[in-house]
Structures are given as C-alpha cells and as structure tokens.
Amino acid sequence: MELDRQYQLTRTSLIHMDNNYRRGPLAADEPVVLLDRKDREYLSRLDQRRPIAIRGGKIAVDEIIGHDEGIVVRSSVNEPFLVFRPSLPQLIPNLPRTAQVIYPKDIGPILIWADLFPGARVVEAGVGAGALSMALLRAIGGEGRLISYELREDFSEMAQQNVSRYFGPSPNWTIKLGDVATELAETDIDRVVLDLPEPWHVIERAWRVLRPGGILLCYLPTVLQVKNLVDALHDDKRFACIETSESLMRFWHFKGMSARPQHRMVAHTGFITSAKRLADGQKDIPRAP
C-alpha cells in the first residue's frame, strides 16, 4: 500500500513537471527566447494566430513550431535569430512587469538560504510580476504547496498571467489578496519568504505558521531596513541562525585575444536575511552578549 502511494505521488509529480519543463520539438503556445547577433534577448510565445514582430520584421510562428531548440530563423527583413526555450535567467529580466523583479543573481541564493526542497509548504508575500513565484514553484515541485500573498490586485493579476503564460499549469499555487501581516493563517509551513518593505511586522505571524526549524527569509533593498529586521528578530527571541548577505555578480567578456571583465557589473540589488524558528517555549538560547 505504501509503495503504491509513493508511486502515485511520484507519478503525479512527474506529470506536473512534464507540463512545465518540456523537451523535444517546440510546440504551439510555448514561450521562446530569440537572440540576435549581439545576444540581445526577445521573449515571445508561439501563438499561431499572429507572427512574431521583432526589430522591424516578422517571423512566421510555423517556421519554429515542430523544430528543436537552437535553430536559426530569419525575419522578413532577413535578420537571423537563434530560438530557444527561455531559461530562468533569460525569462525573469524579460517578464512583462510594472514593478522591479528579483533578479536571477538573488533568486539563486534565496533558494539556497531558504533551503527549498521538493514537497515543501511555502508562504510567499510580495508577488510582483511572479518571477520569484516561478522559481519557488520549480524548487518545491508538484508535491509542494505555494501560498502567495499580494496587497495589489494589479500585481496579483500580472503574476498569474506571467506564471500561466511562461511557466505553465500550477495547481499547487494559491494567490491571496490581502495583508500578510494581519491575514497570514496557514499552519505547518516549512518556509516563509517575504519581499516586503517592513517584514518585521510579519515576525509574529511567521512564527505562528512556521513549524519548528522552519525558515523565515526576507529580501530587502537597504541596509537600514535590514537593521530594523535583524533587531526585531533578536528582540523577539524566538528565532536563531540569523544571517544577512548580499551577492555581487560580474560577467566576463571574451573575444579573440581579449579577456576582461564586462564594463557593467550587477552589483548591489538587495540583502537576504534568513532565520530559523525555535521550538515552542525555547527562548534561553546560547548567544554572546
């Protein structure tokens, strides 16, 4: 009986993954990224009702559908483009949005420091364009559960559209309109991930919904916000392993005999602060004065 249950869970997870992580020839309605001679990226979808308009020309979708990734197509003005399914680093900066997204250089560390795993139950707040939501959904897999809180209805609608168009079916994702600081009411949550300007107001609710050992992770742009958050976590005394970091990324340029850093560097974008929930009733933890 237990083996049958494990088989069904694995099969359900694989079906869910097949819907979102496709292989083989490109199909109608799939998202694609087109790259020009200078490796500039253009995000589109294979909509058979209309051609892809790009750099003053058009590309017939039927010239792409049914072919493998990595083909070269030419627009109506004879400009060549490479065609691939978009990876997350290609997808996220090119998503339709009305607010700043969390960039791939920070999403990677967020997934690691939040210790995401397949099957995790995760609460997210501050959805924006849905970039982090997609990464969280990929990390937790079909057996996991993601509950996202968003105050603004326009952000909620855009995130749902982006996830549907560029990630795929997500039956294990629920998005709620509301203030996570007052309405968070889930139980037995593994991870709480906050992209909010004042996450210290959520500490009490986060402690209630997290299981012992669960992780609270907050993403903040300024050091003063981080200071307020860390002070609040220390004052609360119900969280440990409080750590803050930032990631700086520098790409390199290679051409012929030239090997140098690129002129533009992706430096500071935000701070990542994580903390672990203590067991109930545990406050007297070993800490240096």
- Give the tens place of pLDDT for each residue, 75-115: 999 999 999 999 999 999 999 988 788 989 999 999 999 99
CATH assignment of the domain containing 148: 3.40.50.150
Which of 68, 86, 104 is the C-terminal boundary of a domain?
86
State the average pLDDT over residues 271-281. Answer: 96
Closest by alpha carbon to 99, among 195, 33, 176?
195
Task: Please indicate, yes or no, whether residues 126 and 234 belong to a single structural domain of this protein.
Answer: yes
Task: Please indicate, yes or no, whether residues 39 and 126 belong to a single structural domain of this protein.
Answer: no
- Give the tens place of pLDDT for each residue, 15-55: 344 556 788 999 999 999 999 999 999 999 999 999 999 99
Residue 182 lies in a domain: yes
Burial 219-243 (b: 16+ CB within 10 A, else e): bbeeeebbeebbebbeebebbbeee
Residue 15 lies in a domain: no
Report the distance separating Cα 82 and Cα 104, nearest Å.
Answer: 22
Task: Please indicate, yes or no, whether residues 250 and 270 belong to a single structural domain of this protein.
Answer: yes
Which of 44, 69, 86 is the C-terminal boundary of a domain?
86
Task: Please indicate, yes or no, whether residues 148 and 171 belong to a single structural domain of this protein.
Answer: yes
Structurally, the chain folds into a number of domains equal to 2
| Sheet architecture: strand order including 31-35 | 41-45, 31-35, 80-84, 71-74
Closest by alpha carbon to 167, among 92, 69, 61?
92
Report the distance separating Cα 131 and Cα 162, nearest Å.
Answer: 8
Task: Classify 39 as helix, strand or coil.
Answer: coil
Mean pLDDT in the chain?
91
- Give the tens place of pLDDT for each residue, 229-263: 999 999 999 999 999 999 999 999 999 999 999 98
Task: Please indicate, yes or no, whether residues 68 and 95 belong to a single structural domain of this protein.
Answer: no
Domain span at residue 30 reads 24-86
Task: Please indicate, yes or no, whether residues 81 and 101 belong to a single structural domain of this protein.
Answer: no
Task: Please indicate, yes or no, whether residues 109 and 236 belong to a single structural domain of this protein.
Answer: yes
- Give the tens place of pLDDT for each residue, 108-161: 999 999 999 999 999 999 999 999 999 999 999 999 999 999 999 999 999 999
User: Phi and psi at residue 79, in whole multiples of 5°?
Assistant: -95, 130
Task: Please indicate, yes or no, whether residues 77 and 116 belong to a single structural domain of this protein.
Answer: no
